[in-house]
Structure 1
């Protein structure tokens, strides 16, 4: 079998900013002393006059971006998810969300796959925090292609957008001519009849891997990529749930407040369905190799397979 191409979505973010920067002179990038890690250093090299290093002052960076957005710029602020969603939550809420300013948030190093940096840096709460801010669009791309498309879509969207990127290289799964990204629209990657797996981020490739194993057990799983957590694709969630009668959500995030909660809210209101949420349970992460942590917390292909198999059987 040919080797599967893997790219970290934080790399995709940096490359997408450069490509977009060539076309859009009003695009500016702000970073909080982490340009090498967030990959905005790629943009800094190409457009040094449009890159601002704000130092280790994330809240201040958020305020600067808010101000720049009122002067005709489209700022992308960049730092680790833990720092922008956690440390700067008040500034994101009050300085960007409340006045509904045109600021884009590039949050890298999200989830358990941050690895050795441990629990203090593994933000498994960001989707919940950002989803709660009125008017905030929340996007969690699954691979390199989707991440690049999401950056462009975020620029074109009028209003605040939270973009979630990972440190760990993940399989490229959307490399096809007919791929189309649209904010708020999920993508059916595989039709199925027995159970629907709604997945987001790195768990999309895990769900696809799990589906192959489930097939061997006679379980026909439908796989849906939910790249936009907010606004969620309500019509697709309802239609797929009614079709299969059983629903699973898979995310590299707490089972509280993220994709699982968003899907549960839709189903409870529109189409009550038996539901299993796969994600980080009500615990903090820990330090360790990223791939081993993903497996330990049951977020890899085998982990998703085992949990879905038990749920369906």
Structure 2
């Protein structure tokens, strides 16, 4: 671990770009608030309390916090047992460990039995540089195939805090991707309201429509601002609810733009892009479609900013991909420098 500004930079935590305010540990601090309000809420982790931001709850309620060690199947099984006794368990680990090691336990002990377990999954997609063993690049493709499981990919600190409260109120199993550490504020907490099964348009524009989820909505908004300077009007539809999926909002948004782009911090097959393609096919909406996401391969180790630029998850590569996509409109000669 490396020290910076007096804080430990943990796995999955990076220095976010300047220009947006941040909130420290929005998940853990919201869960701590919920713990004060509701005695049935308990916290669990698989030896990753600090690195999944559940430590504020742990410190406030040590008698309601359980560290099961490096045993993800036990984590889910214990959480399911606690849910059956009237508790509302929030279980945290890394997304790769929850999905690859405990998949059957999530499917059967939680979803099949419809027990009230909340799984909070750190290191989603390309948010760490530790290679294929720690990068959850296919997690919500796996999770959305489990019947009865809600799957959420929040954008920022605002949505993480709101989604944590919504999860606590929802009666049933939920899988949420986690952005941790100092998380930027992208969505206005006064104007924005998260709801399970709902997508929301956060920018208008008719030339191109970007449908995005997770932190890619922040990148989509930044890319849209860049493209506006080149005369391309880009709308952005934020879709944090992977399951249930708001296909009505997606169909309406896609019908209102000339071209559709899907941007996700995930492999570009099986996830959001596949959901959008299915929706357009089912609704008989014929629009050019560009997928921006990760390739079907394990990603190498390296610094997070370098990897995100290399694989096109930062604003300039996104803008360049859209410029190429709009090449038939005379835009293809414009290229943006990738810093």
Give the structure-2-normalised TM-score. 0.88
Instruction: State the alpha-carbon separation in 1 of the partners of residues 246 and 181 from structure 2.
Output: 27
Are residues 1:98 and 2:85 paired?
no
Larger CA deviation: 266-275 vs 121-130: 266-275
Equivalent residue number for residue 227 of structure 2: 214
Equivalent residue number for residue 23 of structure 1: 37
Equivalent residue number for residue 87 of structure 2: 73
Judge conservation of contact 2:156–2:179 (CA < 8 Å) in 1.
no
Say which structure, 1 or 2, has more relative contact order (CA 8 Å, 6+ apart): 1
Deviation at 1:252, TM superposition (A): 0.6
Instruction: State the alpha-carbon separation in 2 of the partners of residues 76 and 184 from structure 1.
Output: 20
Change (3 A) 1:282 1:262: same
Judge conservation of contact 1:196–1:247 (CA < 8 Å) in 2.
yes
Give the structure-1-normalised TM-score. 0.95
Equivalent residue number for residue 205 of structure 1: 218
Instruction: State the alpha-carbon separation in 1 of the partners of residues 152 and 307 from structure 2.
Output: 23
Change (3 A) 1:122 1:302: same
Instruction: State the alpha-carbon separation in 2 of the partners of residues 176 and 240 from structure 1.
Output: 23
Judge conservation of contact 1:206–1:300 (CA < 8 Å) in 2.
yes
Are residues 1:4 and 2:20 paired?
yes
Equivalent residue number for residue 294 of structure 1: 308
Judge conservation of contact 1:96–1:160 (CA < 8 Å) in 2.
yes
The one of 43, 50, 53 aligned to 2:57: 43
The one of 92, 111, 133 aligned to 1:120: 133
Deviation at 1:170, TM superposition (A): 4.8
The structure with the larger Rg is 2
The one of 171, 174, 179 aligned to 1:166: 179
Alignment RMSD = 1.4
Change (3 A) 1:261 1:168: farther
Q: Which has the higher helix share?
A: 1
Deviation at 1:293, TM superposition (A): 1.1
Secondary structure, aligned partner of 2:256: helix
- 1:178-230 per-residue CA deviation (whole Å, 9 max, x = no partner) reads 21111111111111111110111111111001101111121111011111111
Instruction: State the alpha-carbon separation in 1 of the partners of residues 61 and 181 from structure 2.
Output: 26
- 1:232-279 per-residue CA deviation (whole Å, 9 max, x = no partner) reads 111110011111031111011011111111111111101232211110
Q: Which runs of 4+ in 1 moved over 4 A?
A: 167-170
The one of 120, 130, 150 aligned to 2:143: 130
Larger CA deviation: 81-90 vs 283-292: 283-292
Instruction: State the alpha-carbon separation in 2 of the partners of residues 90 and 226 from structure 1.
Output: 27
Q: Any gaps of 5 or more consecutive residues in structure 2?
A: 1-17, 328-339
Instruction: State the alpha-carbon separation in 2 of the partners of residues 153 and 312 from structure 1.
Output: 39
Equivalent residue number for residue 232 of structure 1: 245
Change (3 A) 1:297 1:168: farther
- Say how many residue pairs are matched: 309
Judge conservation of contact 2:53–2:180 (CA < 8 Å) in 1.
no
Instruction: State the alpha-carbon separation in 2 of the partners of residues 126 and 192 from structure 1.
Output: 31
Equivalent residue number for residue 164 of structure 2: 151
Deviation at 1:112, TM superposition (A): 1.1
